[in-house]
Copies of this chain bind each other. A is one copy, B any other.
Amino acid sequence: MAAFRVDNRIGRTAILLVLNGEECISKEQLRQLKWKSCTGKVGSMESQKVVAAIETAAKKNGIIQPGVYRETHALYHAIIDAVSGVTRGQVQIGSVLRTVGLSFSIIRGNPYESEQEGDWIAVCLYGTIGAPVKGLEHETIGLGINHI
């Protein structure tokens, strides 16, 4: 598949990034937008491991500054919003006997025309949710967007 055109919709870009993989995104366009991004995978029955995997990826890839709480705080709530879309209602996985296998993308940048809006962060999760038995699962997506 050819690289898809990135426009300034940070959520849409995060969704396409997680659906299509990094090789399908035009790095040149992201650079022009001055956006940072990364992707990863996490499978778990423990919701805290999903949160931790995304936080670790964001720090390792320089998307947020680990020592600055406002950046951690912004990312955290974007993650919880995304997980909330995946679990639909209650941020619970193993405690209600289900498991998730997820890919995730994180993008940081300004999706608005005004420079005053500063950076925002989008976290997108896509994959499967279901019984802890292979095949007994269906797809799920979640997107969290926050100012940073």
Contact = CB atoms under 8 A, between A and B. Distances in A.
A38 B86 CA distance: 23
A6 interface: no
A60 B104 CA distance: 35
Number of identical monomers bound together in the oligomeric complex: 6
Nearest to A82: B88
A68 B131 CA distance: 12
Interface of A: 1-2, 4-5, 9-12, 15-16, 19, 46-48, 51-52, 55, 65, 68-70, 72-74, 76-77, 80-81, 83-86, 88-92, 94-98, 111-112, 114, 116-118, 120, 122, 124, 126, 130-131, 135-148
Contact of A143 (B46, B92, B136, B141): B141
Contacts of A74: 147
A142 B88 CA distance: 9
A79 to B, nearest CB: 9
A97 B51 contact: yes
A57 B83 CA distance: 28
B72 A131 contact: yes
A48 B74 CA distance: 24
Nearest to A46: B95
Given A52-B97, A68-B116, A81-B88, 18 more contacts: A2-B2, A12-B19, A15-B19, A15-B141, A47-B95, A48-B94, A51-B96, A69-B135, A69-B137, A70-B147, A72-B131, A73-B138, A74-B147, A84-B84, A85-B141, A90-B90, A95-B95, A141-B141
